[in-house]
Amino acid sequence: MTNLETPKPSNYLRIAWQSALAAGLCLGLPATLLFWLILFQDMNHSTFFAPFVQLLQVNGLNKIILLMICSLLWSFLLGKISGYRRWWQIGLATLLGILIGWFSPLSNLDGWLPVTAGDKLPIHTLYAIAMCGIVFSATSCVGLAYGLILRNAKAALVLALTTSLVSVLTMLLSIILFDQFGIRVGGAVDLAMSKVTGVSLMMSAITGGTVLGVGFSRFVANQK
C-alpha cells in the first residue's frame, strides 16, 4: 500500500486555502496570542487576561512551547491536506525546525549589527530587522526539515527558500503598511508593538503556511 494519496493539479487551489486556514489557526494564532491578549485586555479594561499574559511574558520558552504544541495539529492537518499519511514525521520535522530556527544565530539578526550602527538606527528599524530574522530563521529551518523527511534535496531547498521569502516579505510589507499610518514600534501610538506584531506575524504565518502547504503537496504528488 502506498504511503501517498497524490492530489490532482486542479486541487491546488483547495490545498492553498486549507493550508492558509490551518497555518493561521495552528501557527499564526499561538505565535501572536500574547499580543492579542494584551490588546483585548487594554480594550476591555479587564484583568481577566492578566494571568495568561503574565504566563506568556514570564519566560520566552512558554510561547515556543505553546507554538510547538499547536504545530502538531498543523502537521496533522497538513498530512490530510497533502495526502502524506505519516503526519507524525511532519510533526517531528516542524518541531525540530522551530527549535533550530529559534536558537539559530539568524533569529538574532539585529545583534549582528555593529554597535555604532545599532545605536544610530531608529527603534522601529531595529525591530523590523529582528522580526525578519526570526521569521526567516524559523521558516527556512522548517522548510529544510520538510525536504529531509521527503528525502529530496531539491524539495528542501525550494521549500526553505520559497516559504522564508514569502513569510519575510509579508512581515516586512505589513510593518511598512503600519508605518504609513503612523503606527510603529517605539512611536507615540499606544501598544504599537502588540498591534504591529500581532497582525504582521499572523499574516506572515498565513502566507508562509500557504506556500509551504502547496509546495509540500506538490513534492508529495511528484514523489514516486
- pLDDT tens digits, one per residue of 19-35: 999 999 999 999 999 99
Q: What is the pLDDT of residue 2?
A: 41
Asked whether residue 45 carries a pLDDT value surpassing 90, the answer given is no
The percent helix, strand, coil of the chain (3-state, each to 5) is 85, 0, 15
pTM: 0.89
Q: What is the pLDDT of residues 141-153, one digit of tens each?
A: 999 999 999 999 9
Q: What is the pLDDT of residue 186?
A: 83
For residue 64, how far is the Cα from the chain centroid? 11
Mean pLDDT within 113-134: 80
Cell of 30: 499561538
Mean pLDDT within 89-94: 96
CA–CA separation, 87 and 81 (whole Å): 10
How many C-beta atoms surround the C-beta of residue 51 within 10 A? Answer: 9
Provide the terminal-to-terminal Cα distance of the chain, rounded to the nearest Å.
13
Cell of 80: 490530510
Of 150, 156, 162, nearest in space to 83 by CA: 150
- Cα Rg of the chain, angstroms: 18
Using a 10 angstrom Cβ sphere, with 0-12 exposed, 13-18 middle and 19 or more buried, the burial of residue 183 is buried
187, 190, 194, 198: CA torsion to nearest 10: -90
